[in-house]
Every structure is written in C-alpha cells, then in structure tokens.
Amino acid sequence: MKIKGVIFDLDGVITDTAEYHYIAWKDLANKIGIDIGREFNETLKGISRGESLERILEKGNKAEFYTNEQKEELAKYKNDYYLTLLERLTPNDIMDNIEETLLYLKENDIKIALASASKNAPLILEKLQLREYFEVIVDPASVKTGKPSPDIFLEGAKLMNLNPKECIGVEDSEAGVIAINDSNMLSIGIGSEENLGHAKIIIPNTSRLKETIEKIEQKQLT
Ligand code: BG6
Ligand code: MG
C-alpha cells in the first residue's frame, strides 16, 4: 500500500496518559461511591470527558442523581486531578519507537495528523516536544460525533487533503479502531487481541510500530 498519511490517537498510543485518565476517573468514581475496574475502563478509552462521566454514573446507577451543573463540577474535578498528573510529563514519557516512527514518516513525506478526543491534546504534545511533527491536529470540538464515529479520522484526512484509503490510523481503544475501520483507513491496534480483535493489524505495544508501517508499505502486511 502506498501510504500518504498516518493519523494517530494520542492517549495510550503516543504516551501513557491513558493510565492517568484511568487513575483520575477511578479517584472521582470512588469519591461518589462507584467502583470501576480496568475492564470497564476499556469502554471509556477514546470517549470524551462528558460521555465518560455519563458512563461511570450509569454504571453506578447514579445518572439521575446529578444535575448538569453538578456533572460539570465532577468532570472538572477529574480534569483538575488529571492535569496535576500531566505536570510530570516530559519527553521521557514518549512511548517506545514513537519518535523514530514520526521521524521516518517525516523523512518519507508521509503526512502526520492527530485525531484525539482530548481537549488536553495540544498541551500534551507540547510537553512531549512532539508538536512540530504534526501537520494537522483535529479539534475534537469541530466534529459532530465522537469515536466510535469515524468523523474525527475523516476530518484528519480531509485537513491533510488525502483520501482516507491512502491513510493508516493508529489506536489503542475499541471505539477508536471502529472509527478507523468505518473511515476506510487501515487500522493498526495497539494492545491485546482480546480488546482490539477488530483491528486490521494488532501489535501488543508501539515498540515495532515503524517496522509495521514499513511492512505495510512493502505489502508484506495488508
Ligand atoms: C481520549 C481518552 O483520548 O480523550 C479518553 O482516551 C478521554 O480517556 C478523552 O476521556 C477526553 O480527554 P480530555 O483530556 O479532554 O478529558
Ligand atoms: Mg487512546
């Protein structure tokens, strides 16, 4: 396949902020008497802040106990804690092989975009000192529906002036892989077969991402 663009998810792909989201949601959930575990957390990955909170409240059968204003306070409480966890983020926290992959793409004139549901994405890329690699950062507020809808990936391809069929999407979430598949891009899932069995290609972590992309280009993987 001739690859013209790669669209990355951020949390859990470029850096391990997926873990920070989990820590912060778990703290908030405990505070309001709801227990969440890792399995449930898989269903939150890729999902916006507001929608994640709704899912947690529904899990604890508490959705109707809170007004919209109170829900906003809860979401703010979670984000404030999450922001304190982000304070410690440095370029040392970039996942394995990610910078090598970005460099390889850049050197081969393959465009790079970010399709993250996170409003904190620009801040995180700055902290990791990776901002310059990205030609496009899709603003999640600019698309109508979040993942698993393909909208954010389609918008990324559009902003790069590329046909989705010329692009690869990289994701660690169930919802994100569905979004990539439905956008007609080739999906690379980072994680387990159990959670990401619907990805076209699955790798357990990012350590062989560059090699995987090279193999796709050489048609050794499709
Ligand atoms: C996604 C994460 O990238 O961004 C979700 O996978 C998170 O866990 C979502 O809820 C929104 O992030 P933020 O930073 O805007 O609260
Ligand atoms: Mg993710």
Question: What is the Å distance from ligand 2's center to 152 Cα?
Answer: 13
**CB under 8 Å to 186, separation ≥6 — which residues?**
1, 167, 168, 169, 180, 200, 201, 216, 222
Instruction: Give the closest residue (by CA) to ligand 1 atom 6.
Output: 46
- Structure confidence at residue 58 as a pLDDT band (50, 70, 90): very high
- Structure confidence at residue 219 as a pLDDT band (50, 70, 90): confident
Number of Cβ atoms within 10 Å of the Cβ of 144: 8
Atom of ligand 1 nearest to the CA of 173: 6
Question: What is the Å distance from ligand 1's center to 49 Cα?
Answer: 6
- Structure confidence at residue 220 as a pLDDT band (50, 70, 90): confident
CATH number corresponding to 5-15+92-221: 3.40.50.1000
Question: What is the Å distance from ligand 1's center to 143 Cα?
Answer: 15
Q: Hey, do 5-15+92-221 and 18-86 end up sharing a CATH topology, with the first three levels equal?
A: no
**SS in 3 state form for the chain?**
CCCCEEEECCECCCECHHHHHHHHHHHHHHHCCCCCCHHHHHCCCCCCHHHHHHHHHHHCCCHHHCCHHHHHHHHHHHHHHHHHHHCCCCHHHECCCHHHHHHHHHHCCCEEEECCCCCCHHHHHHHHCCHHHCCEECCHHHCCCCCCCCHHHHHHHHHCCCCHHHEEEEECCHHHHHHHHHCCCEEEEECCHHHHCCCCEEECCHHHHHHHHHHHHCCCCC
Mean pLDDT of all residues in 24-45: 98
Cα-based torsion angle of the residue sequence 148, 152, 155, 160 in order, rounded to the nearest 10 degrees? -120
The verdict on whether omega for the bond into residue 148 sits within 30 degrees of 0, i.e. cis, is: yes
Task: Kindly state the tokens that stand for 129.
Answer: 């000192």
CATH number corresponding to 18-86: 1.10.150.240
Ligand 1 pocket, 14 CB below 6 A? no
Ligand 1 pocket, 17 CB below 6 A? no
Pocket test for ligand 1, best of 22, 47, 56, 84 (most atoms within 8 A of CB): 47
**Chain segment 134-189, per-residue pLDDT in tens:** 999 999 999 999 999 999 999 999 999 999 999 999 999 999 999 999 999 999 99
Pocket test for ligand 1, best of 11, 36, 74, 147 (most atoms within 8 A of CB): 11
| 11 noted as active-site residue | yes
Number of Cβ atoms within 10 Å of the Cβ of 100: 15
| 9 noted as active-site residue | yes
Mean pLDDT of all residues in 195-212: 98
Ligand 1 pocket, 148 CB below 6 A? no
Does pTM top 0.85 for this prediction? yes
Give residue limits of the domains in the chain.
Answer: 5-15+92-221, 18-86
Return phi, psi of residue 11, to 5°: -65, 120
- Structure confidence at residue 196 as a pLDDT band (50, 70, 90): very high
**Closest-lying ligand to the alpha carbon of 83?**
1
The rounded distance, in Å, linking the Cα atoms of 64 and 149 is 26
**Chain segment 77-116, per-residue pLDDT in tens:** 999 999 999 999 999 999 999 999 999 999 999 999 999 9
Task: Kindly state the tokens that stand for 106.
Answer: 């850049």
